[in-house]
Amino acid sequence: MRTLRYREALREAMIEEMERDRTVFLMGEEVGYYNGAYKVSEGMLEKFGPERVVDAPIAEGGFAGLGVGAAMVGLRPIIEFMTWNFSAIAFDQILNNAAKIRQMSGGQYNCPIVFRGPNASAKQVGSQHSHAMEHFYAQVPGLKVVAPAFPADAKGLMKAAIRDDNPVLVMESETLYSIKGEVPDDLDVVPFGRAQIVRPGSQATIVAYSRMTHVALDAAAALEKEGISVEVLDLRSLRPLDEDTIVASVKKTHRCVVVHEGWPYGGVGAEISDRVQRLAFDWLDAPVLRVTTRDVPMPYNAKLEQYCMPQVDRVIAAVRRAVHRSA
């Protein structure tokens, strides 16, 4: 089994699907001659040419709309946002066109489009470039939203997204692009709506996704030294959501801590908390707890930035609260 970096796995997925299907093309800012802002599309311009790897101007609403139109007439665009923060400029195209055209046309048009790019915070990129945007989109009917944590899932979910006949949003993490992981040679698609247990445990469940899965794994390893057994569940897919795996894990461990990089008001963590409380209430020995980004615009200062984001020590404290409350 090969070891690939996260960015390499994404690139491999796009190349394989572009070789498989000539209707697939990539478009975005600096995806071509610059090889991508984060080098995800490195070498793709030379391989496929400027008609299929298209450098777009700084006009997210324009090239997102162009992608929607291309998808409606039979192409399969991959639209890269240099960062998901910039998708706010294209929000109308995603919300009102991509997500709704199939329903509004009575099924006469599909919109097989992928929107992708780095999501959430990086390192000192300021409040306007640090948003975790997934909860804005995951609540929209007609959209599918995935957030891989590992290279193999990045490749498999990207391939599934490109082949899907609906708009799919792939939320990557700038902080994960360089991580390495095993990727099977014969890996095909990773189905949407299937979470995975990445660390088994018996006393508490941590539900996470994207970069927070790695934070959760570090917290679980530290808690094991205290004699606390923690199960870590990586969602992978936010919409559709694997409700069954979440509930089954909580029924096993009787406690749940949700860790995500969004704000606490609303969001993915609130949705998961609601479902666990409704569907597994009789199995809970403690309230569902959440560890989130603090409810403020992200500071630029490095220490304040780290204070605001979910860290291992905050996750450990939340699990301790859940476990010892019911001890």
- The token pair that represents 96 in the structure block: 């009102």
Instruction: Answer whether residue 327 shows pLDDT above 60.
Output: no
Q: Is 60 a catalytic residue?
A: yes
Region 59-78: what's the mean pLDDT? 98
Q: Quick one: 61 and 131 in the same domain?
A: yes
Q: Are residues 83 and 6 in the same domain?
A: yes
Asked if residue 188 is part of any domain, the answer here is no
Tokens linked to 69: 């139109």
For residues 143 and 31, membership in a common domain is answered with: yes
pLDDT in tens, 255-288: 999 999 999 998 899 999 999 999 999 999 999 9
| Active-site residue, from 8, 60, 172, 261 | 60
| CA dist., res. 223 & res. 20, Å (int) | 45
Portion of the chain with pLDDT greater than 90, in percent: 94
In a domain, 191, yes or no: no
Position 173 confidence tier, pLDDT thresholds 50, 70, 90 = very high
Same domain flag for 282 and 256: yes
Residues 45 and 162 in one domain: yes
Mean pLDDT of 240-265: 97
Give domain status of residue 55, yes or no. yes
How does pLDDT run across 88-136, given as a tens digit for each residue?
A: 999 999 999 999 999 999 999 999 999 999 998 888 888 888 999 999 9
Residues 166 and 233 in one domain: no
Distance CA 231, CA 206 (A): 6
Sorted by sequence, the CB contacts under 8 Å of residue 183 that are 6+ apart come out as: 1, 2, 3, 4, 9, 12, 151, 152, 155
Does any domain span residue 133?
A: yes
Q: Are residues 106 and 237 in the same domain?
A: no
- pLDDT at position 73 over 60: yes
In a domain, 264, yes or no: yes
Tell me, yes or no, whether 169 and 200 share the same domain.
no
Identify any residues that bridge with 28 across adjacent strands, giving them in sequence order. Answer: 55, 80
Domain boundary among 183, 213, 242: 183
CATH of the domain at 313: 3.40.50.920
Q: Let me know if 139 is exposed, middle or buried by CB neighbors in 10 A (0-12, 13-18, 19+).
A: middle
Looking at this protein, which amino acid is placed at residue 282? D
pLDDT tens by residue, 2-31:
999 999 999 999 999 999 999 999 999 999
**CB contact at 8 A, 194 and 146:** no
Tally of domains in the chain: 2
Among 183, 204, 232, the domain boundary falls at 183
Listing DSSP states for 132-150 in one string gives --HHHHHTSTT-EEE---S
307-322, pLDDT tens digit by residue?
Answer: 999 999 999 999 999 9
27 domain residue, yes or no:
yes
| More reliable by pLDDT, 324 or 247 | 247
Q: How confident is the model at residue 326, as a pLDDT?
A: 59
Q: Number of H helices and number of E strands within the chain?
A: 12, 14
* Residue 292: inside a domain: yes
Claim to verify: residue 30 and residue 169 sit in the same structural domain: yes
Q: Mean pLDDT throughout 42-67?
A: 97
123 lies in which domain range? 2-183
Instruction: Give the domain CATH number at 112.
Output: 3.40.50.970
Average pLDDT of the chain to the nearest whole number: 96
pLDDT of 70 strictly over 60: yes
Given the residues 12, 129, 174, 214, select the one marked as catalytic: 129
Q: Which residue(s) pair with 204 in the sheet?
A: 230
Asked if 295 contacts 263 with a C-beta cutoff of 8 angstroms, the reply is yes
- What pLDDT is recorded for position 122? 87
> What DSSP string runs through 168-218?
EEEEEEGGGTT-EEEE-TT--PPPTT--EEEE--SSEEEEE-THHHHHHHH
pLDDT tens, position by position, 186-225: 999 999 999 999 999 999 999 999 999 999 999 999 999 9
Q: Are residues 143 and 27 in the same domain?
A: yes
- Tell me, yes or no, whether 131 lies in a domain: yes
257 and 296 belong to one structural domain: yes
If asked whether residues 175 and 35 sit together in one domain, one would say yes
Last residue of a domain, one of 130, 162, 183: 183
* CA distance readout (Å), 318 to 17, 139, 176, 253, 310: 42, 26, 24, 15, 11
